[in-house]
Copies of this chain bind each other. A is one copy, B any other.
Amino acid sequence: MAEPVTIAVDAMGGDFGPDVVLAGAARALAADPDLHLVVVGPSAVVEPFAAGHDRARAQAASEVIEMGEHPAAAVRAKKDSSIVVGCRLVKEGAADGFFSAGSTGACLAAATLVVGRVKGVKRPALGQVLPAYARPCLLIDVGANADCKPEYLVQFAQMGIVYMEAIMGVENPRVGLLNIGAEDTKGDEFAQKAHGLLAASVPQFSGNCEGGNLMAGDFDVVVCDGFTGNVCLKTIEGTAKTLFKYVKDALMSSLPSKLGALLVKGDLARLKGKLSPEAYGGTPLLGVKGAVIVGHGSSSETAVANGIAVAATTVRANVAGVIADTVARTAKTTGAAQAREGEAAASDAR
């Protein structure tokens, strides 16, 4: 028997409406007998679901934050939105985690403002598990912090390591810094500073990761500022989309290919599914209390079920707690090292 866990679910998130989200929620409940859900949304939507499912209860929320709204402004204005109410449930201990396939920016703002940061974490960050060749790779930050300081990347690395160990079962994750050359001295000013800090304080750091290594399976965690990470993530998704279009065109371009296409289409469709962003059950927002997982806007029923399951695993593995310990330990080590340096300097001066 697994530890009982309660996840709040934003019934109103996602491009396909509450029916798809609730179908995913039902599937998550069926797969995990120790999972409890609080479905958040307008009463007319969430109450019938709660009535029909044993381990679910309804939490009314009259407002919805739309995808186009300014995240922080919407979170402040719409106190009774499903995203804000879901986060408040976590804050108040009525739920252990929160899943939404709604606006990433709004989830980020609500998680930071309402749920709150893990003690010692400077900036929560969004991680995205990429379907790199043969093994997954977590890219972090993919958009929570457009403007970063180099020292944030040390914590992104630490949080990424905890997530990949606890949730993806990766042993001794290899950490890379997204950069424009393999050599240690490469990069812009920001990357050069980040490289020095990572080398000094993250034992799992194994050097620079160029754009070309990202999908090759050479690293388990790759850290970068949220601007570069977001451009990179969307470039990967866009490149994959364009390539599949080109492949489709190629398979229609001659008679032999048209015949061959009939034979290969099953395996190609399976490949597309394997590479889709929903395969890994959403994007963890690391560095906030509890467990907050944001699903892709186009999340299907399966993606929602996976995302809720990841939220439950994140709670059970105590990812937030392990992050707090790691961050505190590093701060202590750095503090002790600084103190020793201070003593040495003082004794030199005598």
Q: Please judge, given known A-B contacts A260-B260, A261-B260, A266-B254, whether A213 and B191 are in contact too, CB under 8 Å.
A: no
Q: List 24 A-B contacts (CB under 8 A).
A: A146-B180, A179-B231, A180-B226, A210-B238, A211-B231, A211-B234, A211-B235, A211-B237, A212-B234, A212-B237, A213-B238, A214-B235, A214-B239, A215-B238, A215-B239, A227-B228, A232-B232, A236-B239, A254-B266, A256-B263, A256-B267, A257-B263, A257-B267, A260-B262
Q: Which residues of B contact A230 (CB under 8 A)?
A: 180, 211
A107 contacts the other chain (Cβ, under 8 Å)?
A: no
A14 contacts the other chain (Cβ, under 8 Å)?
A: no
A253 contacts the other chain (Cβ, under 8 Å)?
A: yes
Interface residues on A, range: 35 or more
A198–chain B nearest beta-carbon distance, Å: 17
Tell which of B212, B224, B225, B247 touches A238, judged by Cβ atoms closer than 8 Å.
Answer: B212
Determine the distance from Cα of A230 to Cα of B212 in the docked complex, in whole angstroms: 10
Q: Which residues of B contact A254 (CB under 8 A)?
A: 266-267
Determine the distance from Cα of A350 to Cα of B242 in the docked complex, in whole angstroms: 59
Contact A231 B228 (CB under 8 A): yes
Contact A227 B257 (CB under 8 A): no
Contact B228 A212 (CB under 8 A): no
Q: Which residues of B contact A233 (CB under 8 A)?
A: 211
Determine the distance from Cα of A212 to Cα of B73 in the docked complex, in whole angstroms: 26
A186-227 interface mask toward B, CB cutoff 8 Å, 1 = contact, 0 = none?
A: 011111000000000000000000111111100000001111
A240 contacts the other chain (Cβ, under 8 Å)?
A: yes
Stretch in contact with the other chain, from A38-46, A48-56, A155-163, A268-276: A268-276
Contact B188 A147 (CB under 8 A): yes
Determine the distance from Cα of A230 to Cα of B210 in the docked complex, in whole angstroms: 9
Chain A residues close to B by CB (< 8 Å): 132-133, 143, 146-147, 178-180, 187-191, 210-216, 224-228, 230-243, 245-247, 249-251, 253-254, 256-257, 259-264, 266-268, 270-271, 274-275
Contact A247 B259 (CB under 8 A): no
Determine the distance from Cα of A268 to Cα of B226 in the docked complex, in whole angstroms: 35
Name the 7 nearest CB pairs between A and B, nearest first. Answer: A260-B263, A211-B234, A211-B235, A212-B238, A260-B264, A146-B188, A215-B242
Tell which of B180, B249, B262, B268 touches A143, judged by Cβ atoms closer than 8 Å.
Answer: B180
Residue among A189, A224, A231, A256 facing the most chain B CB atoms (10 A cut-off): A231
Contact B263 A188 (CB under 8 A): no
Determine the distance from Cα of A188 to Cα of B262 in the docked complex, in whole angstroms: 46
Determine the distance from Cα of A77 to Cα of B121 in the docked complex, in whole angstroms: 47
Q: Which residues of B contact A189 (CB under 8 A)?
A: 147
Task: Considering the complex, give the chain B residue whose CB is closest to the CB of A244.
Answer: B243
10 A-B pairs besides A215-B238, A239-B240 with CB distance below 8 A are A133-B242, A146-B187, A214-B235, A215-B239, A246-B274, A250-B268, A254-B266, A254-B267, A257-B266, A260-B260
Determine the distance from Cα of A237 to Cα of B264 in the docked complex, in whole angstroms: 24
A72–chain B nearest beta-carbon distance, Å: 13
Determine the distance from Cα of A330 to Cα of B316 in the docked complex, in whole angstroms: 60
Contact A241 B266 (CB under 8 A): no
Determine the distance from Cα of A172 to Cα of B101 in the docked complex, in whole angstroms: 39
A69–chain B nearest beta-carbon distance, Å: 11
Determine the distance from Cα of A265 to Cα of B275 in the docked complex, in whole angstroms: 22
